[in-house]
């Protein structure tokens, strides 16, 4: 369970990106976060893996207040989170295998089992056998699939994606949306931001809507 309790985020310089945001996400939910550009979607998502910390209120995951978590504990938290963020670019000088293996290398995972996990993750996103290719030779949709494989290689129970369908043509965007739906059907909690909430409408997601840093739909007092 993810709980935001009266969360505010003010960036240095004084810009208030989030104000008094409260909601709960239960295990296994599919949550679609929408709102206009600058509404605070990326900021909200970054508070979950503690890439940013709130300036007021708290964010807790499974009863643990992560907003005040010491920096040394954050890598352990992130092992259980799959992240597909705007900043999580692929390494273009490394092949697909190395890109997907990266989180396992960072956490010191045994290489043989890691290789099996990479193969399973690539299979899951429809890129089986593409390990030796370089990202530059892949389409935008395939590159996004590599980023998703990298996010799930640790078998996280929570998957967070910030506009994973942005810059993709409609067919690719639907395929990527379908992929997230299938992870959710397999029991993973999925929190995804998008400009196009209709992509996920068929799976009747829980909707959170931000407007200028305020949660205008889907919140709980």
Ligand X SMILES: Nc1ncnc2c1ncn2[C@@H]1O[C@H](COP(=O)(O)OP(=O)(O)OP(=O)(O)O)[C@@H](O)[C@H]1O
- Residue ranges in contact with ligand X by CB under 6 A: 11, 13, 15, 17, 35, 37-43
Cβ 174 to ligand X shortest distance, Å: 20
CA 106 to chain centre: 18
The DSSP output letter for 204 is -
Integer-rounded Cα Rg, in Å, for the chain is 17
Sequence-distant (≥ 6) Cβ neighbours of residue 57 within 8 angstroms: 4, 5, 6, 7, 8, 20, 21, 22, 67
How far, in Å, CA of 100 to CA of 117, rounded? Answer: 9
CB of 87 to ligand X, least distance (A): 11
Cα–Cα distances in angstroms (integers) from residue 45 to residues 83, 139, 158, 199, in the given order: 9, 26, 12, 19
Q: Which is nearer to ligand X, 87 or 93 (CB)?
A: 87
Q: Cβ of residue 119: shortest distance to ligand X, in angstroms?
A: 33
Q: Which is nearer to ligand X, 38 or 170 (CB)?
A: 38
Least Å distance between CB 33 and ligand X? 9
- Could you tell me the smallest distance in angstroms from the CB atom of residue 139 to ligand X? 23
Complex with ligand X: residue 26 or 195, whichever CB lies closer? 195
- Return the bridge partners of 211, or none: 214
Nearer residue to ligand X within complex by CB, 7 or 149: 7
Q: Are 103 and 91 in contact (CB under 8 A)?
A: no
Q: Which tokens hold the place of 114? A: 């890691």
Nearer to ligand X, 44 or 96 (CB): 44
């Amino acid at each position: 369970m993810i709980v935001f309790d009266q969360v505010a985020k003010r960036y240095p310089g004084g810009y208030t990106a989030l104000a008094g945001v409260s909601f709960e996400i239960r295990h296994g939910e599919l949550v679609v976060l929408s709102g206009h550009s600058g509404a605070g979607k990326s900021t909200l998502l970054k508070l979950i893996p503690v890439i940013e910390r709130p300036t007021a209120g708290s964010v807790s995951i499974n009863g643990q207040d992560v907003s005040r978590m010491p920096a040394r504990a954050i890598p352990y938290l992130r092992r259980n989170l799959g992240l597909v963020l705007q900043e999580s670019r692929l390494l273009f000088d490394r092949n697909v295998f190395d890109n997907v293996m990266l989180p396992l290398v960072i956490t010191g995972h045994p290489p043989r089992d890691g290789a099996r996990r990479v193969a399973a993750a690539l299979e899951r996103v429809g890129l089986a056998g593409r390990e030796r290719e370089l990202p530059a030779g892949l389409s935008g949709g395939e590159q996004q699939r590599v980023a998703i494989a990298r996010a799930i290689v640790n078998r996280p129970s929570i998957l967070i994606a910030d506009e994973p369908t942005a810059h993709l043509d409609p067919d690719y965007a639907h395929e990527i949306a379908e992929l997230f739906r299938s992870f959710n059907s397999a029991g993973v909690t999925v929190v995804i931001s998008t400009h196009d909430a209709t992509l996920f409408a068929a799976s009747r997601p829980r909707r959170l809507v931000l407007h200028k840093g305020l949660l205008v739909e889907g919140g709980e007092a």
